[in-house]
């Protein structure tokens, strides 16, 4: 299997907004960002999986006439904090979560273990459906970094606390020629 992990393009939200599973609009730069992404991909692929959220779905539909949408690929839910600016959150709660993000859930939302578990479930799906194929995955920063932590030879030995140190900008593409999992 050959895998391309693709982060959605820029979004039209104020800087510092926790938008998690909120369905937010894309920035006006979508067309040029999508073209740049396309230049980094192979001429053809066998499967394209995507988060169903608009910021991923739009790119998936632009790249492929028949993408497969999977809720497992959605970003972490920030629950009561989804759609809010970091500066508007109760500071003690936000600080506590920031200090303990590896184990603590956001109010009414998910925690990192939930996100990581979903990435594991998606990897199980890939192992069954995509053996020997070229696969594109259009998703979100957190989820894609969890996939990298498990599949990318460079990152798979990293501690989970370093997940968000994996470089992945908006419109970023991470190519994994030979993922580290059974069935690849």
Say what the pTM is.
0.94
Q: Which domain holds residue 96?
A: 2-176
**Cα(68)–Cα(109) distance, rounded to whole angstroms?**
25
Edge-to-edge, what's the strand order for the sheet holding 2-7? Answer: 68-69, 47-50, 134-139, 2-7, 173-176
Say which CATH number the domain at 28 has. 3.40.50.1240
Tell me the mean pLDDT per 10 residues along the chain, length 184: 97 96 97 98 98 99 98 98 95 94 96 96 94 97 95 83 92 91 54
Identify whether 10 is part of a domain.
Answer: yes
| Phi, psi for residue 27 in degrees, rounded to 5 | -70, 165
User: How many structural domains comprise the chain?
Assistant: 1
The strand pairing partners of 5, in sequence order, are: 137, 174
Asked whether residue 170 is assigned to any structural domain, the reply reads: yes
In a domain, 81, yes or no: yes
Decide if 18 is inside a domain: yes
């Amino acid at each position: 299997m050959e895998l391309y992990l693709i982060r959605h393009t820029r979004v039209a939200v104020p800087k510092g907004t926790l938008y998690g599973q909120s369905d937010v609009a894309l920035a006006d730069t979508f067309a040029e960002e999508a073209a740049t992404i396309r230049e980094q991909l192979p001429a053809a692929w066998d499967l394209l999986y995507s988060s169903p959220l608009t910021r991923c779905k739009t790119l998936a539909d632009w790249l492929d006439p028949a993408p497969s949408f999977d809720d497992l690929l959605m970003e972490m839910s920030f629950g009561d904090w989804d759609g809010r600016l970091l500066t508007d959150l109760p500071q003690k709660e936000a600080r506590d979560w920031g200090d303990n993000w590896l184990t603590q859930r956001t109010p009414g939302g998910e925690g990192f273990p939930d996100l990581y578990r979903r990435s594991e479930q998606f990897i199980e799906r890939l192992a069954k459906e995509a053996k020997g194929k070229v696969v594109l995955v259009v998703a979100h920063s957190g989820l894609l970094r969890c996939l990298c932590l498990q599949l990318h030879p460079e990152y798979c030995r990293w501690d989970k606390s370093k997940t968000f140190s994996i470089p992945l900008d908006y419109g970023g593409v991470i190519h994994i020629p030979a993922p580290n999992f059974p069935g690849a």
